């Protein structure tokens, strides 16, 4: 009698425990994965010509190719913007010597004068504008005026980045801790901002996606549109200049509508690394800490594959019969989409096809990866759970 009741309990427990953790047969992959092959698509690719209302950007007066834009004063010099700190000295007016910060209206305010516009001015251009103003006030004759002006601190700027980047939108570049006044004063002259340029803006927007067209990168400033190809930055063939930016600039990276695996590597314009959401909470590891899934393992270099994430999460190796058939769930998105896609692979499948990108896909920033145990481990844990459930019942009957 006890044996038959025990068998009934075992059957009920097996039905209960076995039905709680079954993966659905049809995962939400939007029919992009058949269990063997998966490829991300490009959705909502940007069309720069339509964005800028241009019929052609190949040979118009306000468009320059790579070897031309470097000769444009509008792009190859740092322009004074609001928030910049200037050191101004005027020969004969030592009481005016000091530090002047450009106002939010892009002006500087010298004593006893009207606000002087700095909009679109370089250092040399602002010096000439100051000379003109002082001559207009009849404080100096044109030939007897000497002004020393230096930019001693560059302020952050805000620009817009759109198109084939991971985080399009408005970004702020050159964010640096505010300098103390004494630190600025101790600096005699000169400053340089390595971050107030087009590459830094693309980095701030998460870097280019694998579908980016590096020959069709555009910078819009006012009514002028400039084409700035960036292919040489990625392949490192030779050094090229980088356009400096000002507040309000717009950058758009066109899309080829296709994934280019040659762009999936760390560089100046791609993510140097990425954060991957990992879950390895089931046996043989009962917690992320025990599975060595810490901050270091969830931050992978850009270009890491699904198999790399399995190794990083300590999901590969161990007892062969228990772990070789473990399964991995990849939760990702198409480029330019918020719709999540779910892809399933096994460890053996990844190991046997590690060089096939459709079987072992590259990871993208903020992808999610979850690991499920093999059938052997599942059976072992179900049996253990049944024992923990039925054991006290049998013992109670015997006593």
Tokens of 280: 């390895």
Same domain, 285 and 368: yes
Poorest-pLDDT segment among 169-173, 255-259, 316-320: 316-320
Same domain, 338 and 370: yes
The answer as to whether 397 is a domain residue is no
Same domain, 235 and 283: no
Half-sphere exposure of 272 (CA within 13 A, CB side): 4
For residues 360 and 15, which has the higher predicted lDDT (pLDDT)?
360
Residue 54 is predicted with a pLDDT of 44
Calculate the alpha carbon distances from 317 to 188, 206, 347, 348, 363 in Å. 61, 33, 10, 11, 21
Mean per-residue pLDDT, 109-123: 86
Query: Distance between CA atoms of 318 and 335, rounded to whole angstroms?
Result: 35
Residue 194 is predicted with a pLDDT of 73
Structural domain total, the chain: 3
Question: Which stretches within 151-305 are classed as H helix?
Answer: 181-185, 198-204, 231-235
pLDDT digits (tens, 9 = 90+) for 333-391: 999 888 999 999 888 899 899 999 999 999 999 999 988 765 555 555 555 555 556 66
Mean per-residue pLDDT, 323-333: 81
Mean per-residue pLDDT, 305-314: 86
Residue 356 is predicted with a pLDDT of 93
Residue 273 is predicted with a pLDDT of 85
Calculate the alpha carbon distances from 369 to 106, 275, 278, 319, 342 in Å. 48, 11, 5, 22, 10
Residue count of the chain: 399
Query: Do 79 and 120 meet the contact criterion of CB atoms below 8 Å apart?
Result: yes
Q: How confident is the model at residue 211 (pLDDT cuts 50, 70, 90)?
A: very high
Same domain, 279 and 303: yes
The CATH number that applies at residue 145 is: 3.30.1950.10
Residue 160 is predicted with a pLDDT of 95
pLDDT digits (tens, 9 = 90+) for 290-301: 555 555 557 889
Q: 389: burial class by Cβ within 10 Å (0-12, 13-18, 19+)?
A: middle
For residues 311 and 77, which has the higher predicted lDDT (pLDDT)?
311
Mean per-residue pLDDT, 307-313: 86
Residue 17 is predicted with a pLDDT of 47
Q: How does the average pLDDT of the chain come out, rounded?
A: 76
Residue 222 is predicted with a pLDDT of 83
The answer as to whether 388 is a domain residue is no
Please give the residue range of the domain that contains residue 238: 48-70+193-258
pLDDT at residue 179 greater than cutoff 60: no
Residue 249 is predicted with a pLDDT of 92
Radius of gyration of the chain (CA): 31
Same domain, 291 and 341: yes
Residue 207 is predicted with a pLDDT of 94
The answer as to whether 164 is a domain residue is no
Tokens of 102: 């450009």
Poorest-pLDDT segment among 110-114, 217-221, 233-237: 233-237
Residue 209 is predicted with a pLDDT of 95
Give the single-character DSSP code of 35.
S
Query: Distance between CA atoms of 239 and 218, rounded to whole angstroms?
Result: 19
Tokens of 75: 């792009």
For residues 125 and 49, which has the higher predicted lDDT (pLDDT)?
125
Tokens of 272: 């140097």
Residue 32 is predicted with a pLDDT of 85
Same domain, 61 and 200: yes
Same domain, 352 and 212: no
Torsion of CA 217, 218, 219, 220, to 10 degrees: -160
Tokens of 389: 């459930």
Query: Distance between CA atoms of 329 and 338, rounded to whole angstroms?
Result: 18
Query: Do 336 and 43 meet the contact criterion of CB atoms below 8 Å apart?
Result: yes
Neighbours of 371 (CB within 10 A): 23
Residue 289 is predicted with a pLDDT of 53
pLDDT at residue 111 greater than cutoff 70: yes
Quote the Cα angle for 40-43-46, to 5°. 130
| C-alpha dihedral sign at 101, 104, 106, 109 | negative
Query: Distance between CA atoms of 392 and 108, rounded to whole angstroms?
Result: 84
Q: How confident is the model at residue 321 (pLDDT cuts 50, 70, 90)?
A: low
Tokens of 286: 């009962």
Q: How confident is the model at residue 143 (pLDDT cuts 50, 70, 90)?
A: confident
pLDDT digits (tens, 9 = 90+) for 66-98: 445 555 656 777 888 898 888 888 888 888 888
pLDDT at residue 284 greater than cutoff 80: no
Poorest-pLDDT segment among 69-78, 157-166, 182-191, 320-329: 182-191
Helix H or strand E segment including 352: helix 347-352
Burial of 278-311, coded b for 16+ CB within 10 Å and e otherwise, reads: bbbebebbeebeebebeeebbebebbbbbbbbbe
Same domain, 247 and 290: no
Q: Percent of the chain, pLDDT > 70?
A: 67
Tokens of 171: 């970004």
Torsion of CA 121, 124, 126, 131, to 10 degrees: -150
pLDDT digits (tens, 9 = 90+) for 19-68: 445 566 677 888 888 888 998 999 876 555 444 444 334 434 444 444 45
Residue 391 is predicted with a pLDDT of 61
Same domain, 278 and 338: yes
- Bridge partners of 370, per DSSP, are 279, 329
Same domain, 306 and 376: yes
Quote the Cα angle for 139-145-151, to 5°. 110
Same domain, 352 and 332: yes
For residues 322 and 138, which has the higher predicted lDDT (pLDDT)?
138
The answer as to whether 267 is a domain residue is no
Same domain, 369 and 276: yes
Which segments of 130-276 are extended strands (E)?
Answer: 147-153, 157-163, 169-173, 212-221, 224-227, 250-255, 273-275
């Amino acid at each position: 009698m006890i044996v038959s009741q025990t068998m009934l309990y075992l059957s009920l427990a097996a039905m209960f425990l076995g039905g709680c953790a079954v993966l659905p047969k049809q995962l939400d992959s939007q029919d992009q994965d058949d269990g063997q092959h998966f490829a991300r698509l490009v959705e909502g690719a940007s069309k720069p010509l339509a964005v800028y209302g241009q019929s052609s950007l190949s040979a118009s007066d306000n468009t320059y190719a790579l070897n031309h834009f470097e000769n444009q004063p509008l792009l190859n010099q740092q322009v004074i913007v609001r928030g910049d700190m200037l050191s101004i000295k005027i020969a004969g007016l030592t009481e005016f010597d000091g530090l002047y910060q450009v106002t939010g209206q892009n002006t500087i305010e010298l004593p006893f004068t009207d606000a002087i516009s700095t909009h679109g001015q370089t250092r040399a251009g602002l010096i000439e504008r100051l000379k003109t103003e002082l001559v207009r006030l009849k404080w100096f004759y044109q030939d007897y005026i000497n002004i020393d002006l230096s930019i001693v601190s560059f302020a952050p700027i805000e620009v817009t980045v759109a198109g084939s980047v991971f985080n399009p939108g408005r970004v702020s570049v050159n964010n640096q801790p505010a300098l103390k006044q004494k630190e600025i004063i101790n600096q005699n002259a000169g400053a340089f901002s390595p971050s107030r340029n087009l590459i830094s803006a693309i980095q701030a927007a998460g870097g280019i996606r694998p579908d980016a067209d590096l020959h069709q990168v555009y910078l819009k400033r006012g009514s002028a549109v400039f084409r700035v190809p960036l292919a040489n930055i990625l392949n490192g063939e030779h050094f090229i200049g980088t356009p400096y930016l000002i507040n309000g600039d717009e950058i758009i990276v066109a899309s080829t509508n296709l994934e280019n695996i040659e762009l999936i590597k760390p560089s100046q314009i791609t993510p140097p690394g990425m954060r991957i959401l990992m879950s390895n909470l089931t046996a043989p590891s009962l917690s992320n800490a025990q599975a060595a899934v810490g901050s270091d393992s969830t931050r992978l270099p850009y270009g890491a594959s699904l198999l790399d994430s399995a190794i990083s999460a300590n999901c590969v190796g161990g007892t062969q019969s228990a772990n070789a058939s473990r399964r991995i769930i990849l939760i990702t998105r198409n480029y330019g989409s918020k719709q999540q896609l779910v892809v399933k692979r096994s460890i053996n499948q990844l190991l046997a096809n590690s060089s096939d990108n459709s079987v072992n896909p590259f990871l993208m920033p903020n992808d999610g990866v979850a690991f499920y145990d093999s059938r052997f481990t599942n059976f072992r844990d179900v049996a253990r759970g049944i024992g923990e459930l039925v054991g006290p019942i049998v013992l109670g009957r015997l006593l």
